Amino acid sequence: MADIGMATPATTVNPAGYGGGMSGVDILKAGTQILNTAVGTYSPYAQLSLEIERAGRQKAAGIYQRGLNEVQAIDTLAIAEIRADQSIKIASLQAGRRLEQAKIEARNYQIQGNRILQGLRAANAAVRARAAANGVAVGQGSAGGIEVRNAQVAAQDMGITDLNALMARVMGFEDATNIYIAGRQTANFETFVAQRQAAELRLAGDFAEKSGGLLSGATMVQGGMEFVRNFQNPFPTIAKAFE
């Protein structure tokens, strides 16, 4: 018969339902084990998150580089267009000045020819006046010969001045044409070089974007493989801690 006056010892109840009672030390050990398991379980997720972030940065870097190269390509073409336009304008101005210079040179030769004619008229007038004073018929004798000779010399000089005037116009036109053509060729060359540079920049930008995508994909695959390799199921360890 049980002694009513003595208290019966209380039995520790396992709230998890895993059998016998647990002391404070056992609970501490179980908590430590659960914490370690949680840390070990979270670590693959954290690493996977970092790999995803790194993959995103790699892809964004490729897109940014392509955008930067596109801006540089547009600027290169715009600057080349401005330079080409300025080259053509400068060449046009220089060609125009050369034509004006040629006109002035031709006009100077014409003025020189007019002076030759004026000199011829003055010389022949003096010959006629001297012949008349000496009683010699105008246009006859030595006076007539002098007039003829003066006319021949003047004609030669006039021919030279006319040729010089013509040459000035021709050479001026030729120089102006060469100047304009050189300016146009310079403009075309600058445009061609700018187009090549723009194409190279765009090609490099496209390569950078594709490389960023490939690196991003490789990083994601590597992160996924590391996650699968390091992943741990925490539930068996937690259940074992309460046994």
CATH number of the domain encompassing residue 174: 1.10.287
Residue 18 domain-assigned (yes or no): no
- The share of the chain scoring above pLDDT 70, in percent, equals 64
End-to-end CA distance of the chain: 36
| Collapsed DSSP state (helix, strand, coil) of residue 2 | coil
Residue 1 domain-assigned (yes or no): no
Mean pLDDT of 147-164: 85
Higher pLDDT, 77 or 131: 77
Structural tokens at position 111? 């003025």
Residue 12 domain-assigned (yes or no): no
Is residue 202 within 8 Å of residue 80, measured between CB atoms? no
Residue 177 domain-assigned (yes or no): yes
The strand ranges marked E within the chain are none
How far is 81 from 95, CA to CA, in rounded Å?
Answer: 21
Cα–Cα separations (whole angstroms), residue 39 to 28, 61, 202: 16, 32, 47
Residue 143 domain-assigned (yes or no): yes
Residues 82-99: tens digit of each pLDDT: 999 999 999 999 999 999
E strand or H helix that includes residue 103: helix 24-133
Residue 45 has pLDDT above 70, yes or no: no
Look up the domain containing 49 and give its range: 24-233
Higher pLDDT, 41 or 143: 143
Mean pLDDT of 69-94: 90
Residues 101-132: tens digit of each pLDDT: 999 999 999 898 888 888 888 887 888 787 77
Residue 213 domain-assigned (yes or no): yes
Is residue 80 within 8 Å of residue 193, measured between CB atoms? yes
How far is 216 from 204, CA to CA, in rounded Å?
Answer: 18
- In the chain, the amino acid numbered 223 is G
Structural tokens at position 133? 């004073």
Dmax over CA atoms of the chain, in Å, equals 195
DSSP one-letter code for 16 = T
Nearest to 116 by CA among 167, 72, 150: 150
CB under 8 Å to 11, separation ≥6 — which residues? 21
Mean pLDDT of 177-198: 92
pLDDT band at 175 (very low <50, low <70, confident <90, very high): very high
pLDDT value, residue 151: 83
DSSP one-letter code for 15 = T
Domain count, the chain: 1
Residue 9 domain-assigned (yes or no): no
Mean pLDDT of 62-77: 85
Mean pLDDT of 176-185: 93
Residue 16 domain-assigned (yes or no): no
The mean predicted confidence, pLDDT, of the chain is 75
Place of tokens 């030769």: 109
pLDDT value, residue 26: 54
